[in-house]
Structure 1
């Protein structure tokens, strides 16, 4: 089940909200846990036991760490066991086949491996349970003694599948003392509808263009067609993932939670460093707190800092998927961030327009590495982009793509900036009464158009499901 489905929008969500709000406050966490388990089990009923195990396992790890805090060796063994088991589960389901394939390739063996489907959201909820155990061990947070409250934190369906990655420290007080309100619920509905529109009306439509160009043999692509395709994917993955994050944050507000913002208009960035402060913010914050800083951060000299950044970006790429293209993608950005710290950032800061172009092109080229798991296809697509496949600069297909998607690209560019949000805020402040009528109508229109699209269109992917 995904947020951008008719089943979720018109059946699961209304029923969950209704049951949640007619229940006494003491039962609301339990209602969320049950709803979340149903949501997760809808497509993968067997994998629900992995999540239940992770929840119970790390709940008791937290309790035992506190119980044996004065016995440092025992406490450390419990902590270490938790980290090993959590990473072991994640590694088995996400990286086992990758490891076997590479061993077979390097050693010329023929080890067979069962290709198990990846449990949806395992990368996200594993990081969440690990952050809890780490913070309890470091005495940064108090242990959660109520297992239902802890299960709410781990399984909460709004952010379960694709984040944002919520650290326990950021939500601990809200688990038992949050305040639901009509205003917060309304804000959540607005965010959910905005995210739905981004996902269904923008990401899905530009995704059709990318699918068409990606399915075309690269040797038949003109330079312009290749660039249109990957720029289309650049917008697709942003509106797909940020739209889903908006829906998640909006759903959180409906149930009284304030979840962290996960995207902040990354495509207006003037450097790669800035881009990664605006893109998937919760993941960057997690790696910074639990990997970069423990490694020493920037406190042990430049050389050590660059090594730490290299490690973080290797892990960032590897976290996204069990394939060499993701590792290369992570290291690609790591190299640019290191270069910016050495000299590049000072140079691009002095040239505003050039800095925007440099950042956008760097990110677009990075998405090629991200999208093509087969490195042969990746290299061939790069050749098409830069005119090495001996085809024309522009052809009739490219002109057709431009003509049919021109207005969509304009809309995507505008919606990638704060322009629409600024206009909306201006209208709310300047024309309070009229805005109170016009803005709800606009949201109803988005719901209507999105529903119409979902009824008539079979293309409704969610790109981050595979991570």
Structure 2
């Protein structure tokens, strides 16, 4: 009974604030398709509470862990409230489990110099990904998606490709800052990104992208539905449910549901071929300096699939998403793209190339971006990272985090 109270309350809270207008507007559209028109509707004109998708799921994990006897209920309300509202990851994750975070909150902690320096390094690297990668790309992506009907295919492909780097730099940058800040308080949060750019299939991508959300759905939805222990048909059903719910979690828009459906369609063939778990415990080019030719093609193919699914993730409406894709197919020409603020595009290509190569060099440990034995090398990297943030900082750029809206 108490489990249902918790789930209904949290889902009800989320549904009211985040999805009420979506359901009302969808109902109005459905009535219109049937030939009728509603003259008046009552919708909410309120601001979405910041981080509501994250702390509602985090609170539900507490109730579910108690129900499944993975956790003993706490009698310390202050510790529980701290777990729900721990400020570094409150507004955009990672979505923590009570079994991990609450147990640390209730345990006495002492200052740890190594943990503190590791946290500062993660904060620095997260700021670099946010300021230098995500924010500098944002004006280009915004311009191309806002004016997609005026651009040829080459520019649209550039726009959606850059959006992949923008959303990765933006969200993984925030996650690094959150994890690093928590370390300053002696708290270890779970990793949220494990270099998804180097995934060799879509299944591996979801093992490396937004890890806290994908594992939440696996533990609390997919496995209770039967997971992969049931028949193939039911397993496919479970996969479809997970990705549709994941898409809907991201936003009250049909574009996100279609985005989730696309990923389900990409994941199912990998699952049916039995290749969804083959890359769980290894990284690309694990024992060599460079990836094999096969791995390079796998990475590029996965990146292309994931990138084009993001047309729906980034577009304001289904009409815009299909218009974007139609423009690529109908106007398959090339022209040089001019930066909306007048900067040289070649600088961004060089920057992204260096960024990808550097991330590849540290791909074995997502929590140690500056793990080099030489102190000179480390301090040289710190200097370059800070210099990069100074050079690429621009007051004219919107600095909001993409996942704050969720």
Superposition TM-score, scaled by structure 1 size: 0.76
Q: Hey, what does 1:211 align to over in structure 2?
A: 142
Alignment check: 8 A CA contact 2:140 2:339 kept: no
- Cα distance in 2 for partners of 1:112, 1:426 equals 53
Contact 1:158 1:249 in 2 (8 A): yes
Rg larger in structure: 1
Aligned to 1:63: none
Q: CA RMSD in A?
A: 2.7
In structure 1, the residue matched to 2:282 is: none
Aligned counterparts, 1:295-310, within 5 A: 295-310=225-240
CA deviation profile, 1:219-242 (whole Å, cap 9, x unmatched): 321111111111111100000000
Query: CA, structure 1 residues 312+220, in 2 after alignment: closer, same or farther (shift >3 Å)?
Result: same
Partner of 1:89: 13
**What is the deviation of 1:182?**
1.4
Is structure 2 residue 397 aligned with structure 1 residue 461? no
Is residue 281 of structure 1 aligned with residue 211 of structure 2? yes
Indicate whether 1:135 and 2:135 are aligned. Answer: no
Q: Hey, what does 1:409 align to over in structure 2?
A: 349
Q: What is the CA–CA distance in structure 1 between the aligned matches of 2:390 and 2:105, rounded to whole Å?
A: 33
Shift, 1:399, TM fit? 9.9
Task: Find the aligned partners of 1:374 and 1:456 in 2 and give their Cα distance.
Answer: 29
CA contact (8 A) 1:310 1:331 kept: yes
Report the CA distance between 1:445 and its aligned residue: 5.2
Q: CA deviation at 1:383?
A: 1.8
Q: Which residue of 1 is the match for residue 28 of structure 2?
A: 104
1:188 aligned residue: 119
The reply on whether 1:118 has 2:70 as its aligned counterpart is no
Choose from 320, 331, 352 the match for 2:261: 331
Residues 30-429 of structure 1 mapped to structure 2, 5 A cutoff: 77-107=1-31, 108-109=37-38, 110-177=40-107, 178-216=109-147, 218-343=148-273, 345=275, 351-386=294-329, 388=330, 391=331, 393-397=333-337, 404-416=344-356, 418-421=359-362, 428-429=372-373
Tell me the secondary structure at the aligned position of residue 397 of structure 1.
coil
Unaligned runs of 5+ in 2: 32-36, 280-292
Aligned length: 381
Q: How far is 1:446 from its partner?
A: 3.4
Q: Deviations over 1:288-342 (max 9, x none)?
A: 0000000000111101100011111110000000010000001110111111112
Deviations 1:58-78 (A, max 9, x none): xxxxxxxxxxxxxxxxxxx22
Moved over 6 A (4+): 398-403, 422-427
CA apart distance, 1:403: 9.0
Contact 1:225 1:398 in 2 (8 A): no
Structure 1 unaligned blocks of 5 or more: 1-76
Relative contact order (C-alpha < 8 Å, sep 6+): which is higher? 2
Matches within 5 A, 1:23-34: none
Residues 270 and 356 in structure 1, CA contact (< 8 A), matched pair in contact too = yes
C-alpha separation in 1, matches of 2:48 and 2:22: 12
